[in-house]
A and B are shown apart, each in its own frame.
Chain A
């Protein structure tokens, strides 16, 4: 099969790659661009471990084709911190012990960040339902929700 040439930006870097027409964005990120922060938990859009944003919209990268990245802006967990400086969500996830095995964490951070960008003052119910597509088998979610709520409060105060 002929490979497709794609030009895009990932975490604000210009990127070009060749991919198979059927290759998912998740596989492109992981296998071609060495960005292994997004994980495959199911490959069917049901777990959220592969969450990234495309032009600011939260998607499961396992359901997006690599070819669809053409001309778009992709953001992944690797771009959340600015260099050494962590994003407030990242600080809070550490502080609240909102992670155990950590494999769901990248997807949950991407999803939570996208929520706070849309809605800086979410209710707890909004957080719970926004993150309902991100499965975590370890934590039981309580600390995750608290970390997100507290980050939102801090960020509102800071802005």
Chain B
């Protein structure tokens, strides 16, 4: 019955489950849900200053503004004033102090969205301004941080190793943050129910967290709050905790007025209020021999966390956990400072700190290759972890003591070098560059090894609820949320395969805290790993019950009952799945089951920095070619080749879509997407007019994306691998290609900072070319 050779719909390239709704404009996002006529709309009045105390508040004009029904401040909140996902340090509405420009201070409830926004601008608030801490340097100087001091993970004695090494490099590297720019802004809707119950629809990756925070805010047990999420118009980590404020506001206002309440952020508000990817400054020192073997590396991570803790600790941890990327480093020390500043509270963003850690070591490898004049791919290969079938190193463990047993990159690298024709193109580019003065091309390779599992071990669990109805149709529910990644379809493919039925038999339903409780966020790329397994468990329970009942009736062995092609084969008898369901129902067999899964093997001590935080690693490799213009710094991607490891893919079309989108988003992070705060702490790039995410015209001219023909050695759902975050890191190859192109203008190492905007490329070219 567990025969993998007959996988049914699993591994088929089926379209996204809602594709038909998407192309006809009928897919409903929160703001599209038909509203009761008396629905009220909310908006925040926000702080115009980065730090200070409220001296007096005059909201009379707000209250008098057209359409306003109520105006609430912290004093009006009935219960807890908190929307933090971690340590209760994030008031929904200012508690008298303000800590960043854009912090919500009061809440307007009005009869229309635009009326609420207009009224929110009319607050008259006097602040006693204080000097804000905006930059990482200011925070370091003031010792303004989360946790008592830096976290430090160490392996061996890197300082001694570097001092004794034949060669060394050192440098400092700035890495900008990133706005999620989910195309659907944050949104929530609360409908008051009988008694005091509350039904909340939220564009969230974490319905259980919304339920929890709403329950606290309206003083009810979690059982009185139901949260539903059908889909998001993009999430990328930005809807893991940042939706709390809207959902809680809606619930409080709905409780206060007895009316349905909806809140959505306008794009500017969204960008000014919500957290973004953490900015980093990485300082490094690396020692190596003349062949490029790494002997020791020291990293100093500074990360700007903003004003509240949110998820910053695990984000900064994950950056440390990816400071090795694909390389076996004999001695390494990573010191991480989590700095508290008067800016938006930085939050989860695809990769969750991993990309920042990874780009740090890739920068080091780039620097070493330049120093040695060695081919950067060759250098990387020499330092790779050992493949499982070719162990040479005495020590193949990560800086945190986890043995690397599934390393795929040797084979993947060779395959990609070949399919992309890397060597010949690199030679041709070098030749071409000689004949050019204005334009130079560059090419670069970057590998990815990304750890899969939540580093907070208890989050690695999931639940599902499956019903088979007496007509043989199947209702599927699990704790994962759909944000475009195709999770619902992949999991439905698992369910269809377990029952041996077609996809049309399976009904995908909205994530609902009343169906599956206590779920984790759909994050850490874990969606299909966790929920796929939970759904499999639920389906198998029902299937086993059905098999046992039918085999008794037909006097054969339960193990001989097969579910395939919409039929149930019981010894010599065959019936449709529908008939089988109907017979089981009449035979009083329960056709409903929950399913539960927890990831095995993971165990992690984040203080010591030791253990096995990850169940397994996902791998990827990319080669990007760019051209830059020295007169303007402008640049474009000419060609990209990617080979990515999704294990035995559950759905190759959806997985390739994830890889392509992630690469482009990762490239955006390191190139065009620049967040600029002024010296008062106000974000100046708060709309797509000033914040430039990649557009259709920026896509690589040639874009070849393939999946590695692999299989997860760990027992995951049909041996697949997680695919949401790992390919984001492939964008690092674009950054390195720009560095390569810039290095063609002179002898100095470019030491490019990120994002490598045209301006940044231009000034770096000048430095490399003219030494200025």
Contacts and interface: CB of A to CB of B under 8 A. Distances in A.
Interface stretch (B130-138, B177-185, B299-307): B177-185
Contact of A128 (B233, B266, B483, B697): B697
B381 to A, nearest CB: 28
B27 A102 contact: yes
Interface in B645-686: 653-654, 656-658, 660-665
B161 to A, nearest CB: 40
Contacts of B231: 101-102
Contact of B653 (A38, A93, A97, A129): A97
Nearest to A144: B696
Given A77-B24, A103-B29, A141-B664, A47 B183 contact: yes
B486 interface: yes
Contacts of B485: 100
Given A94-B19, A100-B486, A101-B484, A129 B697 contact: yes
A100 B22 CA distance: 9
Nearest to A108: B696
A138 B183 CA distance: 9
B335 to A, nearest CB: 34
B16 A135 contact: no
Nearest to B659: A140
B29 A137 contact: no
A100 B696 contact: no
Given A39-B29, A144-B696, A139 B267 contact: no
Contact of B25 (A78, A94, A127, A138): A78
B16 A44 contact: no
Task: Classify the interface of chain B: helix, strand, loop or mixed.
Answer: loop
Given A39-B183, A94-B20, A44 B688 contact: yes
A155 interface: no
Interface in A33-48: 34-44, 46-47
B25 A77 contact: yes
Given A100-B657, A137-B234, A138-B484, A90 B23 contact: yes
Nearest to B656: A97
Nearest to B652: A97
A141 B688 contact: no
Contact of A132 (B15, B232, B695): B695
A37 B664 contact: no
Nearest to A37: B25
Nearest to B236: A137
Task: Classify the interface of chain A: helix, strand, loop or mixed.
Answer: loop
B23 A93 contact: yes
Given A47-B688, A76-B25, A102-B22, A34 B695 contact: no
A131 interface: yes
B697 A132 contact: yes
A106 interface: yes
B608 interface: no
B603 interface: no
A97 B657 contact: yes
Contacts of A94: 15, 19-20, 23
Contacts of B185: 40-41
A94 B24 CA distance: 11
B695 A39 contact: no
Interface size class, chain B? 35 or more
B688 A49 contact: no
A42 B182 contact: no
A21 B664 CA distance: 40
Contacts of A42: 267, 687-688
Contacts of A40: 31, 185
Nearest to B666: A140
B372 interface: no
Nearest to A146: B703
A59 B247 CA distance: 33
A58 interface: no
Residue of A86, A99, A133 with highest tally of chain B CB at under 10 A: A99
A143 B696 contact: no
Residue of B24, B31, B181, B231 with highest tally of chain A CB at under 10 A: B24
Contact of B267 (A27, A35, A38, A41): A41
Interface in A11-48: 27, 30, 34-44, 46-47
Interface in A93-124: 93-95, 97, 99-106, 109
B456 interface: no
B234 A36 contact: no
B24 A41 contact: no
B687 A134 contact: no
B689 interface: yes
B195 interface: no
B194 interface: no
Contacts of B28: 36
B18 A100 contact: no
A63 interface: no
Nearest to B664: A140
Given A42-B688, A93-B19, A97-B653, A139 B24 contact: no
B21 interface: yes
A104 B484 CA distance: 11
Contacts of A35: 25
B770 interface: no
B470 to A, nearest CB: 30
B184 A103 contact: yes
Nearest to B66: A1
Contacts of B458: none
A141 B662 CA distance: 11
Contacts of A44: 267, 687-689
Interface string B451-495: 000000000000000000000000000000001111000000000
B181 A97 contact: no
Contacts of B483: 101
Contact of A101 (B234, B687, B694): B234
Contacts of A39: 29, 31, 183-184, 233
Nearest to B688: A46
Residue of A40, A41, A47, A137 with highest tally of chain B CB at under 10 A: A137
A88 B240 CA distance: 37
A133 to B, nearest CB: 8
Contact of A37 (B26, B181, B696): B26
A40 B182 CA distance: 12
Contacts of A141: 664, 694-696, 699
A153 interface: no
Residue of A81, A90, A141 with highest tally of chain B CB at under 10 A: A141
A46 B689 contact: yes
Interface in B275-329: none
A56 B251 CA distance: 43
Given A46-B688, A141-B699, A101 B183 contact: yes
Interface string B404-432: 00000000000000000000000000000
Contact of B661 (A38, A128, A139): A139
A149 interface: no
A41 B32 contact: no
Contacts of A129: 696-697
A157 interface: no
A135 B23 contact: no
B34 interface: yes
Contacts of B697: 128-129, 131-132
A1 to B, nearest CB: 9
A101 B695 contact: no
B351 to A, nearest CB: 15
A41 B661 CA distance: 18
23 contacts: A30-B32, A40-B31, A42-B267, A43-B266, A78-B25, A89-B23, A97-B19, A97-B654, A100-B485, A100-B486, A101-B182, A101-B232, A102-B27, A102-B231, A103-B233, A132-B695, A136-B183, A137-B182, A137-B236, A137-B693, A138-B484, A140-B662, A145-B696
Given A76-B25, A141-B699, 4 more contacts: A102-B233, A103-B234, A105-B22, A105-B25
Interface of B: 13, 15-16, 18-29, 31-32, 34, 114, 180-185, 231-236, 266-267, 483-486, 653-654, 656-658, 660-665, 687-689, 693-697, 699, 703, 705
